[in-house]
Amino acid sequence: MNCYMLKKSVFWIACVLFLWSCNGNGGDQESQPGEPVNNIPPPALVSYSVLNIYPHDTSAFTQGLVYYNNQMYEGTGQKNESTLRKVDYKTGRVEKRVDLESTLFGEGITILNDTLYQLTWQDHIVLVYSLKDLKPVRKIYWANEGWGITHDGTNLIISDGTDKLYFVRPGDFKLLKIVSVSNSNGPVYKLNELEYIDGYVYANQWETDNILKIDPHSGFVTGVLDFKDALKKLANINYDKQAVEEGAVLNGIAWDAATGHIFVTGKRWPKLLEIKLN
């Protein structure tokens, strides 16, 4: 073999080795399942302590929960069953109840400036009440599905089951901005019941046992509260698979700003938990 042929052979061998190193097992550049796909840090596990456990009405298909001026308010869902309630949270007793029209499916609730807002699921209607007597004062059109709603002190924040949070002006429901929620694995979907706590949006992620802590500016999930088997571990109650399949899942976050405590419950849950973040 002459010198030219030898150089050419060495060149092609080097090319083959280079391509193998890029595409073979030793140089796989594709992200593996569970590996970060962006520059967002993985969310931290947020620990908490359970302070009290109270009774909760198992007929309540809880969609929204708010604690305001030492009073608990609850919105429930399902057609022919949807309600707005004023509740004595320590006993579980319903002190006042407003039944929605039978065709409406109630969803999240929030209170801003002594006005209570209640979403409906696929009806594109927001029900607005006077907080003093829980009397309806108007209906507002909402273009998307209604899942969860909270506020940052100025604007309403709404979820629709996607990865989006919608910031809305309360007076005329003008859409101000949309924030997409994501974590280190990409977009985060099924954002449900919401609560704004100390500058963060806390969201139930539907069909999971997690409450997500979300930075409302970046949309990044910065923390996760794990409520897996919470009823069994904390209240010695074992909800069977059928109950969960019928919708008895974690859903409901209410913040007591005075104490910093958080109330957590679920759809048709027999208990309401009062917790404190560690």
Q: What is the pLDDT of residue 38?
A: 72
The token pair that represents 205 in the structure block = 């992620």
On whether the CB atoms of residues 150 and 118 are closer than 8 A, the answer is no
Q: What is the pLDDT of residue 219?
A: 97
Q: What tens digit of pLDDT does each residue of 248-266 get?
A: 789 999 999 999 999 999 9
What is the percent of the chain where pLDDT is above 70? 84
With 80 as the cut, is the pLDDT of residue 25 above it? no
Residue type for position 173: F
Grade residue 232 by pLDDT with cuts at 50, 70 and 90.
confident
Average pLDDT, the chain: 87
Pairwise pLDDT comparison (38 vs 119), residue with the higher score: 119
Mean pLDDT of the region 48-58: 95
Q: What is the pLDDT of residue 231?
A: 84
Q: What tens digit of pLDDT does each residue of 168-202 get?
A: 999 889 999 999 999 999 999 999 999 999 999 99
Kindly write down the DSSP assignment for every residue of 37-96, as one continuous string: SSSPPPPEEPPEEEEEEEE--TT--EEEEEEETTEEEEEE-STTT-EEEEEETTTTEEEE
Q: What is the pLDDT of residue 237?
A: 81
Least confident segment among 36-45, 107-116, 179-188 = 36-45
Q: What is the pLDDT of residue 233?
A: 84
Kindly write down the DSSP assignment for every residue of 180-243, as one continuous string: E-EETTEE---EEEEEEETTEEEEEETTSSEEEEE-TTT-BEEEEEE-TTHHHHHH-----HHH
Give the span between the Cα atoms of 89 and 87, in whole angstroms.
6
With 80 as the cut, is the pLDDT of residue 24 above it? no
Mean pLDDT of the region 136-152: 97
Q: What is the pLDDT of residue 252?
A: 96
Mean pLDDT of the region 108-126: 97
With 70 as the cut, is the pLDDT of residue 26 above it? no
Length of the chain: 278
With 90 as the cut, is the pLDDT of residue 11 above it? no
Q: What is the pLDDT of residue 93?
A: 96
Compute the radius of gyration of the chain from its Cα atoms.
24
Q: What is the pLDDT of residue 37?
A: 64
Q: What is the pLDDT of residue 139?
A: 96
With 90 as the cut, is the pLDDT of residue 241 above it? no
Domains in the chain: ranges and CATH: 41-277 (2.120.10.30)
Name which of 94, 99, 144, 98 is nearest 119 in CA terms. 144
Neighbours of 108 (CB within 10 A): 30
Residue type for position 98: V
Q: Collapsing DSSP states into helix, strand and coil, what is residue 5? A: helix
Q: What is the pLDDT of residue 1?
A: 45
